[in-house]
Structure 1
Amino acid sequence: MNCLPVTEADLHAYVDGLLPLARQAEIEAWLAARPEEAARIAAYRGQNLALCQLFDPVLDEEVPRSIGLPGRRAWWRGVAGRCAAGVLIAFLGGVAGWTVRGTAMQEDATRPEQVQLATMGPSAGPAAGLARRAAIAHVVYSPELRHPVEVGAEQEDHLVAWLSNRLGKPVHPPHLGQLGYDLIGGRLLPGQSGPVAQFMYQDTVGKRLTLYVSTEQGAAADTGFRFAQEGKVGVFYWIDGDFGYALSAGASRGELAAIATAVYAQLK
């Protein structure tokens, strides 16, 4: 018996875990034959996970006493749930204007350890969305044990040629061995409006960091380094000409600043 055609509604139901087991198996077989669609669905799952990590703690917060409503805890849970759902819809729809949680760091692009702190607001521009998408991609792929990358570091020449061709501009992974991180490979990811690249590194104890490279900003004005904290993931990010870069890891701001300096120096 032929299975039913796979619709976008089926894919979203699959991501949300709402399909019967038989239909779920059909969707998994369909995705196995379509790597680009599988990557897109993996990104959606990563978005769900990241949003849960960001918003679930809100459900346990006390409602301000000034509200003074009976059953206010249940009311607060409903509001938080609707807010999270709204954010997810906006994200999947490619809506701009995300406000990155945490702090922004800018001014001296070559000395990120000395940048001044400033609160990032809605006018932070295209770099804000870059940081969030990079953090989500890091959360999705860095825990993978068997398939953390699509192309391993042993095929670096092929990896560079492939990603450069797909992004339409030459890209290459910086080498961070002197900082204790070795390249383990990279992968192609769906961005907001086209393909982006992710390079992954690992140190001797298994801690991983990722470099997210995007050309979706176009020839945007250069920015200094900024720092955002997304849950347990720190992100240093900046825009340089045609490229947007975001370095993500579960590391301190100081460690990421040192690595960002080395990355910036090699990519100039």
Structure 2
Amino acid sequence: MTDERPIGEDDLQAYIDGRLMPARREEVEAYLAANPTAAAETALEAKHREALRARLAFKASEPIPARLRVANLMGAKRRAPRFRLASVAAAVAWLAIGLVCGALGSAWIRDGHLRPFTHGTNAAGDAITAYRTYVTERLHPVEVAADQEAHLVQWLSRRLGKPLVAPNLNQNGYRLMGGRLLPAGNQPAAMFMYEDGRGNRLTLYARSGDAEGSTAFRFENQDGVSAFSWIDDGLSYVVAGRIGREDLLTVAETIYKQFESQAPPGRSKL
């Protein structure tokens, strides 16, 4: 019998965990086959889950401590309540380790906090398309050049309705070239372009409206163009370029730290 419910986040997570009934699994697989973006995000989340499982595998291979063995736990019943409570708490802690491998499959880690993995945002795809379109331009790569940075930032801030900042990436070897206004469906987006001493370029793309709250950095690569995207306070950010993943992550972290340090309390960063 076909399940009439639409495919949701719970179904995708259960699919990754291998907890779906055969009929529902077939429906989810059909949904993913018809939705390449959701399929790619689900595959990436499964990859993250397996990486986390591998990192915690050493716990599964460790011997169970003597204090948690069944015989000792049974003997603990004859002890004072405080000892029994301690044993139960320890057992619960070890059980939690097993649950972590599955539960953390829908989260990633940033700044020591767990952030939920979210489906549905296409900012990264739009940012990569914009990168491909303008990064090869030699005469007109930007609308407003870096020598008018104050005007550029004020103009883009007004159009997006958010206070923007052009990050300083000198420490990463990139100088600001300028920026431009881009369409993003029914809303505007901003793009800043940077270049290093060898002519390699990268872009920072920003727009509002994808989601509230915040997420961790998410990586993707489309035909040689790498991108890290994240959401913070309702703003979607994407840094893209034809550079290695680790180098691009360093740039993304530089940008994020500057936003955190420059934004006044209660105001959005960028």
Q: TM-score range by the shorter chain?
A: 0.5 to 0.7
| Secondary structure at 1:107 match in 2 | strand
Task: Give the aligned residue type for 1:153.
Answer: A
CA contact (8 A) 1:103 1:229 kept: no
- Could you say if the C-alpha distance between residues 98 and 146 of structure 1 is closer, same or farther in structure 2, counting changes exceeding 3 Å? farther
User: What TM-score does the superposition give when structure 1 sets the normalisation length?
Assistant: 0.56
Alignment deviations for residues 92-133 of structure 1 (CA, whole Å, 9 cap, x no partner): xxxx9684698467623348xxx9xxxxxxx84243x11111
| Selected match of 1:125 from 119, 129, 133 | 119
Q: CA RMSD in A?
A: 2.8
For the pair 1:231 / 2:223, whether they are aligned, the reply is: yes
Within-5 A mapping of 1:13-28: none
Alignment deviations for residues 7-46 of structure 1 (CA, whole Å, 9 cap, x no partner): xxxxxxxxxxxxxxxxxxxxxxxxxxxxxxxxxxxxxxxx
CA contact (8 A) 2:156 2:181 kept: yes
Highest relative contact order (Cα 8 Å, sep 6+), 1 or 2?
1
- Residue 217 of structure 1 deviates from its aligned partner by 1.7
Q: Which runs of 5+ in 1 are unaligned?
A: 1-85, 91-95, 116-122
| Selected match of 2:210 from 205, 209, 217 | 217
Task: Give the aligned residue type for 1:204.
Answer: G
Taking only the aligned residue pairs, the percentage that are identical comes to: 38
- Matched positions, count: 165
User: What TM-score does the superposition give when structure 2 sets the normalisation length?
Assistant: 0.56
Higher Cα Rg, which structure: 2
CA contact (8 A) 1:192 1:216 kept: no
Q: Name the CA distance, whole Å, in 2 between partners of 1:126 and 1:249.
A: 22
For the pair 1:181 / 2:182, whether they are aligned, the reply is: no
Q: Which runs of 5+ in 2 are unaligned?
A: 1-33, 49-106, 261-270
| Secondary structure at 2:110 match in 1 | coil
- Could you say if the C-alpha distance between residues 110 and 201 of structure 1 is closer, same or farther in structure 2, counting changes exceeding 3 Å? farther
Instruction: Quote the residue 1:191 is aligned against.
Output: 184
Instruction: Quote the residue 1:150 is aligned against.
Output: 143
Instruction: Quote the residue 1:264 is aligned against.
Output: 256
| Selected match of 2:158 from 165, 183, 195 | 165
Q: Name the CA distance, whole Å, in 2 between partners of 1:252 and 1:102.
A: 21
